[in-house]
Amino acid sequence: MSECPDRSGPDNPIDPTAAAIIRRKARRMVGRAGLRPQDREDIEHDLVLRVLVQRHRFDDGRGTWPAFVWRVVERAGDNILRSRRRAKRAGRPAESLTAGSATADPAESSARAADLARALAALPPELRAVAVLLTTHTAAAAARALGLSRSTVYARLQRIRARPEWAGLAEYL
């Protein structure tokens, strides 16, 4: 923490101004994408975490700390909402805000990672390229990177999900 507790900045990342920005965004998110009032505190914690993770990117030559916090919080909140809406459209239950947190069983995570690696290795090269990109990119971005149409990417995704080794792993794509 900085010597002056009232001073905002990356050394004192969650000062009263940053906390107010986070609280305001969390309140605005409630009622959207299935978020309930009781989720507000979890949303705030997630947004604080995003600010702490991104604070190394702050450059006081480009702007003020509150403006940086506002931008990080807005993007993080919008990404949370977008992810929950995407899951809802896909017919899957929305992911819990605590899913994937530090409370997850490390052995289970390792087993899933090994299953995912094994399933990826079993794919033919043209399907593997799509699968690898879809673990981190949208279908449109994967299509651009591979020089394919989105419909081709979606068709290959259907072929991947139909393979027996992908039973139970479709959530990763």
Q: What's the token pair of residue 64? A: 């003020």
Looking at residue 149, its pLDDT comes to: 92
pLDDT value, residue 140? 86
Tokens of residue 52, six digits: 């702490």
CATH: 3.30.70, 3.90.320, 1.10.10, 1.10.260. Which one for 106-172?
A: 1.10.10
CA dist., res. 64 & res. 103, Å (int): 34
Query: What does residue 18 show for φ and ψ, rounded to 5 degrees?
Result: -65, -40
Q: What is the pLDDT along the chain (173 residues), one digit of tens a residue?
A: 334 445 556 666 788 999 999 999 999 999 888 888 998 999 999 999 999 999 999 998 999 999 999 999 999 999 999 988 888 777 765 555 445 444 455 666 677 777 778 888 888 999 889 888 887 888 888 899 999 998 999 899 888 888 877 776 656 65
d(CA 52, CA 12): 10
What pLDDT is recorded for position 165? 74
Residue 52 CA to residue 41 CA, distance in Å, equals 17
Residue 9 pairs in a beta bridge with: 12
Delimit the domains of the chain by residue range. Answer: 16-89, 106-172
The C-alpha atoms of residue 112 and residue 121 are separated, in whole angstroms, by: 14
* Of 102, 117, 124, nearest in space to 169 by CA: 117
79 membership: H or E segment, kind and range? helix 65-89
Yes or no: say if 58 and 51 are a contact pair by the CB < 8 Å rule: no
* Distance, CA of 132 to CA of 100 (rounded, Å): 20
